[in-house]
Amino acid sequence: MSGNLYNVSVSPHIKSKETVSTVMRDVLIALVPATVAGIYFFGKEAALVMITAIVSAMLSEYLFNKITKRPNSLKDLSAVITGLLLAFNLPPTLPLWMVAVGSAFAIIVVKCFFGGLGQNIMNPALAGRAFLLAAYPSQMTEWTIDGATKATPLAILRNGGGLLPDTLDAFLGTNLAGCIGEVSAFALLLGGAYLLYRKVITWHIPATYIGTVFVITTVLGRDGFMQGNGIYEIFIGGLMLGAIFMATDYTTSPMTRKGQIIFGVGCGLLTSLIRLYGGYAEGVSYSILIMNLLVPMIDKWTNPRVFGGAK
């Protein structure tokens, strides 16, 4: 027998230099183009909404941890991400006190009540948006640009009452009504490309989500079978924001590649059905939240069997 001694350690045996903070930092960098676009298109009102949402999220998490005597978790930047993503899903003219309430709800009820980072069962920012939409529906669906009330492209497609922007304007976000962070598909794609480059996300959820919406809205169409404009549909509304930054949340998305594809297809299917046949012009938020609740089941179906385990 050899006289060498070996150290035996517990898992994980494969380690990475990445931490929660570094991942969140990359997400913040990826959100810069959409942040700049939101301020450029909507002005100081958008900046105030973002600042309010972030401050409220950080303060809510700090106070909750203080009251419950939990360690300070602000350094991981997850509260900043939640606040900014919530702001991206809000109209620029929403009263700031409502913004603060929605951000506090997202952090305290959806994140902290479930144990904090990594234990929430649904995306906190989207849950905050759903809460605000239920509590203040009129304020959450009013779109004012340069003092004039405008309809979003999705609302025009559903109800008429306005002139649709052309495809290039829809892609760039020029003169569009909508939530702060969703109007510029171009800015969101830049951020998505950065996340893919940094390997923070993979292509599986965004590509299958966007691709499913493109196929279904093209085939079924708003004007009949094979009469849809799938390209236009993927550029408008919150699809790019949801597919790239919300549906890819580590905690509330499946662990396996197969599960992520199922998740992306499910989000795309629900979004398309809500847009085409539902009573609500946009379907991204509710689609992702519904699929978040199905993640444990998807993981159960798609996780590989443990080596040596029973069938």
Tokens found for residue 210: 């966007």
User: What residue type is 275 in one-letter code?
Assistant: R
CB within 8 Å of 167: residues ≥ 6 apart:
231, 232, 235
Residue 18 backbone phi and psi in degrees, to 5: -70, 140
Pick the CATH number of 20-298 from 2.60.40, 1.10.3430, 3.40.50, 1.10.10: 1.10.3430
Condensed to tens digits (0 to 9), the pLDDT of residues 80-117 reads: 999 999 999 999 999 999 999 999 999 999 999 888 77
The helix (run of H) or strand (run of E) holding residue 275 is helix 257-277
Tokens found for residue 242: 């949801």
Strands (E) across the chain are located at 144-145, 148-149
Cα separation of 221 and 81, whole Å? 35
**3 state SS of 148:** strand
Q: What is the pLDDT along the chain (311 residues), one digit of tens a residue?
A: 455 665 555 545 445 566 777 889 999 999 999 999 999 999 999 999 999 999 999 999 999 999 998 888 888 889 999 999 999 999 999 999 999 999 999 999 999 988 877 788 899 999 999 999 999 999 998 887 766 678 888 888 888 767 888 999 999 998 888 899 999 999 999 999 999 999 999 999 999 999 999 999 999 988 878 888 899 999 999 999 999 999 999 888 999 999 999 999 999 999 999 999 988 888 899 999 999 999 999 999 888 776 555 55
DSSP 303: S
- Residue 144: beta bridge partners? 149
Tokens found for residue 125: 């920012």
CA distances from residue 62 to 3, 113, 262, 269 in whole angstroms, order as listed: 53, 14, 36, 38
Let me know if 45 is exposed, middle or buried by CB neighbors in 10 A (0-12, 13-18, 19+): middle
- Per-residue model confidence (pLDDT) at position 13: 47
CA distances from residue 220 to 115, 212, 215, 229 in whole angstroms, order as listed: 42, 12, 8, 10
Single pTM value for the model: 0.89
